[in-house]
């Protein structure tokens, strides 16, 4: 970025985005005291974690340990605990379901078809998420519109028909440059895989570094078409309609 662009990003983040994010988190907790954030432990979610700590809202954070995450990703759980004093709740897939799927289809069946890949994602991610969201009335994610073709219409909030509760995407409007300015300016710890060419991080076998000029999610399920690159956690992205509720 040019010096002028850097100045613009700095102004947008410090004067607009960050104060609005803190106020947003406080409003979410006021409206939904049992809300929780799903963290992938990647850049966006670390910015949200930093904001949660700064907002002093006590918003809960959980993550899904699929059993196939990079060691660097799992290491961020300890980083969050040490830096913020926040215990991230961990949800794991049912071991019997994982074993049955592997026995029936093989350990790397996700390369064979979108259906088999999504079946693996359902066992390792969607079902644990269902348990994480059980009895909650709202959840938060670090998704951004800029990230993927499946997220261009991402609302900042709305009812999540997939899981039957309210959903917030507080970083929906943030740009890549704004996320990384916040990380550097506020000293937010981040997954070291980002420095190794991973702008988007998922399971180890299903994620690769991106090449120069590639889309930020090109490294996720790289053998598939761009319009199929969701795992089921955010299946309602295209259909979710923002709703203003009175609370």
For residue 247 the two structure tokens come to 């609370």
Chain Cα centroid distance, residue 198 = 14
Strand partners, 36: 60, 139
Is residue 120 part of the annotated active site? The answer reads: no
Q: Do the beta carbons of residue 231 and residue 125 sit within 8 Å?
A: yes
State how far the alpha carbon of 191 is from the alpha carbons of 24, 46, 165, 194, 213, in Å.
25, 9, 29, 6, 21
Q: Distance between CA atoms of 78 and 36, rounded to whole angstroms? A: 19
Helical packing angle, 43-55 and 176-186, nearest 10°: 50
Given 120, 203, 206, 231, the catalytic residue = 231
Nearest by Cα to 69 from 201, 182, 175: 201
**Looking at the annotation, which residues are catalytic?**
231
């Amino acid at each position: 970025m040019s010096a002028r662009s850097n100045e613009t990003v700095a102004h947008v983040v410090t004067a607009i985005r960050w104060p609005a994010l803190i106020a947003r988190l406080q409003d979410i907790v006021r409206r939904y005291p049992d809300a929780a954030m799903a963290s992938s432990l990647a850049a966006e979610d670390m910015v949200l974690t930093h904001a949660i700590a700064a907002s002093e809202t006590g918003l809960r954070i959980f993550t899904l340990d699929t059993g196939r995450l990079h060691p660097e990703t799992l290491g961020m759980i300890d980083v969050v605990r040490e830096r913020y004093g926040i215990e991230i709740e961990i949800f794991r897939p049912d071991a019997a379901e994982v074993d049955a799927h592997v026995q029936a289809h093989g350990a790397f069946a996700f390369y064979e078809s979108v259906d088999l890949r999504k079946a693996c994602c359902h066992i390792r991610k969607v079902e644990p998420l269902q348990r994480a969201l059980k009895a909650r009335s709202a959840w938060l994610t670090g998704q951004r519109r800029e990230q993927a073709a499946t997220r261009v219409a991402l609302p900042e909030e709305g009812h999540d028909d997939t899981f039957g509760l309210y959903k917030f995407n507080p970083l929906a409007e943030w740009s890549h440059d704004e996320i990384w300015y916040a990380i550097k300016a506020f000293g937010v710890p981040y997954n070291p895989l980002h420095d190794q060419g991973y702008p988007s991080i998922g399971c180890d076998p299903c994620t690769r570094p991106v090449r120069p000029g590639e889309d930020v999610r090109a490294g996720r399920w790289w053998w598939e078409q761009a319009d199929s690159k969701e795992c089921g956690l955010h299946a309602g992205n295209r259909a979710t309609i923002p709703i203003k509720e009175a609370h």
